[in-house]
Structure 1
Amino acid sequence: MLLEQVKEKVLHYVDAQFPILYLNTFEEAKADEIIKKSAYGREILEWNASRGFVDFRTKLPLLEGMKQLEVTLSFLNNNDELRGKILVIKDVHHFIDNPYVISRLKDISLRIHNGLETIIFLVSPVLKIPVELEKYTTIIEMDYMGEKEIKSLIKQFIEVNELPDISDSLLEEFTTAFKGLTEYEIINILSLAYSKDGNLNRKDLEIVYEQKYQMIKKSGILEMIPLKESFDEIGGLDNLKKWLSNKSIVFKNMNKAIEYGVDIPKGVLVVGMPGCGKSLNAKATAHLFGIPLLRLDMGRLMGKYVGESEANMRKAIKLAEAISPCVLWIDELEKAFAGIGNSGNTEVASRLFGHFLTWMQEKRSPTFVVATANDISNLPPELLRKGRFDEIFYVDLPTEDERKKIFEIHIGKRRKEDLEKIDVAKLSKKTDGYSGADIEGVVKESIEKAFVAGKEYVTTEDILTVIENTRPLSELLKDKIKLLAEIYKNNHFKPASQK
């Protein structure tokens, strides 16, 4: 939703006398702009933590002794100072769990239909709504800047600083790089780039992405992962690789594909035991598509306040869509959604699940979801139905040919000069039931032992010795692997590898 649309929406809420409007945003200047637009000439009062009760326009203190929010609310309410006015409370998340603040806000909300006609704006980058205020509060979420707004901001920065114009292609690159950031963050990064050499050029894109990685990580929910791994580093999974290769053609030619009638790909669920390449596949997918990779930490979505978990989910999805086209990697999906529908499940987890399902079903943005799961035995069946993901693949223990390729990859990474002398075919035959992670562990241990022993090079025998003393995943989780194999078969999941 564009800024003008947000302003229009808030105007309607004010007209309808919704008592508490929660502007969930980091950008206070934009929040002030929205509030001023919706005031209709009403007097606006503001309270903030640093100065207390202040003039909304000048931000100068109005009354002494008003640095405690509960005292300010009590004074304003008791002296009828709020009648017909707008009250703005900044950074409310620091004070909203105070029982006196909750009580005062509730009192004011209840009086709105008895002639008080006061609208309260809560402004904060953190969404916290106590259960007592849930029914009186309306959340206003402000979207990230669109491409037109970002381009306009860049051009304005160039004009103000009297910089040479940049090419249309470079402007497009900067615009793409800035997607998902706030106006404040973009201005800061542009200023940093400008301070380096007094100009804006293609080299500055490195600064943009370096800062962007950091800013997204600070959200605590999403993390932007550098694109390092490719499918060349994954042994096997040929069926999955081919399927993803076809999807990459759609993503790289999105406009043409849509005109042709192709639906925007939703994503893929990859299931299987740990250490079989699921996470590496997610990273390689973004590399193949040539788009950013975002990792969603499902565990960090859960909040303690009413609506906080759902708000975190909306925030993560909104950011991913703002950055799109991108790959959204949801690792270990079962940690968030296992057991949904069971009697012991929490209402919050069920609501999160419902929100995620709806988004997956209805999403129109080029956000390609790569979800991974180790154990799907407790995942709700709704998640596995057609229409949620484009396809579901299962990753099994690698075949003999795949194990050979995995040995070649890991030995080649560390001891390329020894690779020709090592009998990888023999090693592959001796490691039936080993996962990719098991094989990597064997190679790393063999190389370390050869180094400690002072050997000039690593031999086949060195690696075979380590294999003899290794218990593979198939032995440790024998019953679990058998159970999951039945689930894959019963649900007609596609094998990631060619058998």
Structure 2
Amino acid sequence: MQFSQQLVEHIQAAFSGLWIQSPEAEEVEWRLRALAQEHHWQLAAWDLSQGLRSLSESAEGLSAAPAAPDRISDPLSALQHFLERPTTADFTAELLVLPNFHRFLQNPEIIQQLIRGLRLGKQLRKFLVILAPIVQLPPELQRQFVVLEFPLPQADELGEIARELVADAPSLIPTGPTWQQLLDAAAGLTRSEAENAFSLSLVRHGTFQPDVIWELKSQTLRQQSLLRLHRGRESFAALGGLSALKQFCRQALRPRSGTQRVTARGILLLSPPGCGKSAFCRALGQETGRPVLTLDLGAVLGGIVGETERNIRQALQVVDAMAPCVLFVDELEKGLSGVGGTGDAGVATRLFGTLLTWLSDHTSDVFFVGTANSIQQLPPEFTRAERLDGVFFVDLPAPPQRQEIWSLYRKEYDIAASEPIPADTGWTGAEIKSCCRLSALLGISLADAARQVVPVSRTSAEAIEHLRQWANGRCLSADVPGLFTHTSNSTSRRKVTPSTN
């Protein structure tokens, strides 16, 4: 349902408290002005800088004159004036818009005045509309307000912003795939951010360049501290092994015709550390032409009641707005380790529930990639059907895959092909890379560098074996099509000679 329709319906149903969540207060005000003119609402606004003012249309046009004889800069006085001002039959409703009013909701007098205003508003058809980038209601008002989300601009609106900037030179508007790449790059930005990004591209290059948009978007995400944007040049060609996983993702994320509405949901990668899960995800974005958004579950956790839930919802809203994209969550079992416990007052459980609901219900073209090094701490409901398209086990690379990885890193670190490869049984790709890097860094042979590498297969042999046994018949293989199979090589720790008696 469109935002405008939602708002009109709530006004008609006499919901006297409306909370509009948006970082674009000015854009919301302009939308409210248009709706007020269409539906004959009387519109006023109050903020600290301008006091109480009218936003309604007059015969001379939009009036910015104060709504009261004197400038009302006190929030309590503004609320009282609005509520006690005589109503007029010329308007079907009266709205007081309060931008960034969440900053005043720690004051008990203001809370009480709002409660009074909401009660009177139903009788007098007077509505209090709070505009804020976050939802931060005190307990007394949580059931008094309805929260509406003002959507970020969609592709057609972003395109209109770009066209307005070059209205005098329409030839600068790109066509074909370049136009779509530009709109994809701007997805998830506010109207003001998109306009700034388009303007910077015009100043810097004289035309619209998606790379400039991605640069500004990456800066914006860094400011929020919840998501990181990755657009590197890694590819599957620089990643040894994982042939079945690569093929699965290529097929799942291939371009589809307009009549096909099916979208890929995501995968979970389970493996010992150092087997290339994170590198695969970064390369996946380049291979499929999608930006990779990394969600840090540790950064989502907040110290204030309700902050964690608000952070995860905000992050997922940005992810949905940036579709098509890849959402990467590393080491899930650590971020969700408190699920079911009571030590954090249920914060981890609520975080997990929000993520589960999004995985099941989201309709945006977002491909989720989660990784885990241990299955014991991961809640079992995470991997049920229709939340993910598959659970893959990434085992330690086999000899042919290790040879491929050696070739890649020999070339990267300029190591002669004639230099013999040291014994590498049980090595991960990260350990092979470390050996090559140390050889180039210290100017020593690969054999000498290998003496400084202790493989995880030696330090965590029992944990890796347990992980393999769990994945046997339960996970898809990342290397060959079909289920992962593993035959245990363990033997009894004690040899007993049967008695001959």
TM-score by length of 2: 0.83
How much has 1:346 moved relative to structure 2?
A: 4.2
Matched residue type, 1:217: R
State how far apart, in whole Å, the 2-side matches of 1:82 and 1:274 are.
70
How much has 1:300 moved relative to structure 2?
A: 3.0
- What is aligned with 2:165? 157
1:255 aligns to what SS in structure 2?
Answer: coil
Cα displacement string for residues 382-412 of structure 1 (whole angstroms, at most 9, x for unaligned residues) = 1111221100012222223333332332232
Matched residue type, 1:353: F
Q: How does 1:198-237 map to 2 (within 5 A)?
A: 199-200=206-207, 204-237=209-242
**Closer, same or farther: CA 309–139 of 1 in aligned 2, 3 Å:** farther
1:135 aligns to what SS in structure 2?
Answer: coil
Check conservation: 1:269, 1:391, Cα contact below 8 A.
yes
Q: Paired residue for 1:496, among 464, 474, 478?
A: 478
> Greater helix percent: which structure?
1
Whose radius of gyration is greater, 1 or 2? 2
State how far apart, in whole Å, the 2-side matches of 1:59 and 1:224 are.
41
State how far apart, in whole Å, the 1-side matches of 2:35 and 2:115 are.
22
Matched residue type, 2:154: G
- What is aligned with 1:478? 461
1:21 aligns to what SS in structure 2?
Answer: strand
Check conservation: 2:339, 2:346, Cα contact below 8 A.
no
How much has 1:306 moved relative to structure 2?
A: 6.4
Correspondence 1:168 to 2:172: no
State how far apart, in whole Å, the 2-side matches of 1:59 and 1:274 are.
62
Unpaired segments of 5 or more residues in structure 2?
Answer: 56-61, 88-92, 486-501
- What is aligned with 2:494? none
**Closer, same or farther: CA 107–303 of 1 in aligned 2, 3 Å:** farther
Matched residue type, 2:212: I
Root-mean-square deviation (CA), in Å? Answer: 3.0
Matched residue type, 1:470: V
Cα displacement string for residues 470-494 of structure 1 (whole angstroms, at most 9, x for unaligned residues) = 33223333343333333323x7012
Correspondence 1:184 to 2:189: no
How much has 1:58 moved relative to structure 2?
A: 5.2
Check conservation: 1:131, 1:305, Cα contact below 8 A.
no
How much has 1:90 moved relative to structure 2?
A: 1.1
Q: Paired residue for 2:417, among 420, 423, 428?
A: 420
- What is aligned with 1:48? 47
State how far apart, in whole Å, the 2-side matches of 1:184 and 1:59 are.
22
Question: Percent same amino acid at aligned positions?
Answer: 27
Unpaired segments of 5 or more residues in structure 1?
Answer: 451-457
Q: Paired residue for 2:31, among 31, 34, 58?
A: 34
Check conservation: 1:129, 1:305, Cα contact below 8 A.
no
State how far apart, in whole Å, the 1-side matches of 2:86 and 2:194 are.
37
Q: How does 1:308-323 map to 2 (within 5 A)?
A: 308-323=307-322
How much has 1:303 moved relative to structure 2?
A: 4.5
- What is aligned with 1:19? 16
**Closer, same or farther: CA 206–81 of 1 in aligned 2, 3 Å:** same
2:375 aligns to what SS in structure 1?
Answer: coil
Correspondence 1:446 to 2:443: no
- What is aligned with 2:425? 432
Cα displacement string for residues 436-474 of structure 1 (whole angstroms, at most 9, x for unaligned residues) = 223322322232222xxxxxxx43xxx322322433223
Cα displacement string for residues 411-445 of structure 1 (whole angstroms, at most 9, x for unaligned residues) = 32122xx3312212xx2xx2323332233223222
State how far apart, in whole Å, the 1-side matches of 2:171 and 2:250 are.
40
Cα displacement string for residues 68-97 of structure 1 (whole angstroms, at most 9, x for unaligned residues) = 545644x548x7349774222212343334
Farther-moved stretch of structure 1 (58-67 vs 22-31): 58-67
State how far apart, in whole Å, the 2-side matches of 1:21 and 1:242 are.
49
